[in-house]
Amino acid sequence: MGEDGARTNDREEATVAGQASKQVSREEIQRRGRYSLTIASLFLLILLGGGLSLPQRAIVIVPLGVAVFASVREIRRLSKVPATAFTRFGPAIALGLSGLLLVGAVTQVVFYGPQKAYEDCMTGANTSTAQAVCNQQRQRSLLGSLTEF
């Protein structure tokens, strides 16, 4: 029984959380689950905030900042404990995506004036001629010079 019991424990260790020959504690699994739930909730808030109009859309900077902070904290925590590269992959992707979205949100806030003027112009433009005027005004603005390639 001692030998069979040892084999059973080895099998359990090999299958816990997909890691080979290393047992993951219950606390570690709970920490990873809390991080995953936090990031999923933040990205849901970001998705909902992204659908708002331009002045209110700036609110997505808050959950994006929290997501960047949480991802950096999780990556630092995982660097101190034995973890596989696959385990570190999720926080790294969340950090990259959060950083990219944060840069996009900050860019929208910086160019709020020209973008708002363009959106207002297009809202009132009922004809293709009026839309062409709005496009010309946008091209002359700072925003237009940056978006033109």
Residue matched to tokens 């005004």: 137
pLDDT class of 120 with cuts at 50, 70, 90: confident
C-beta separation of 120 from 104 below 8 A: no
Band of pLDDT at residue 142, cut at 50, 70 and 90? low
- Check residue 118 and give its pLDDT: 84
pLDDT tens per residue across span 97-112: 999 988 988 888 888 8
Cβ atoms of 136 and 86 within 8 Å: the answer is no
pLDDT at 28: 84
- Specify the pTM: 0.63
Residues 55-87: pLDDT tens digits? 788 888 899 999 999 999 988 988 888 777 788
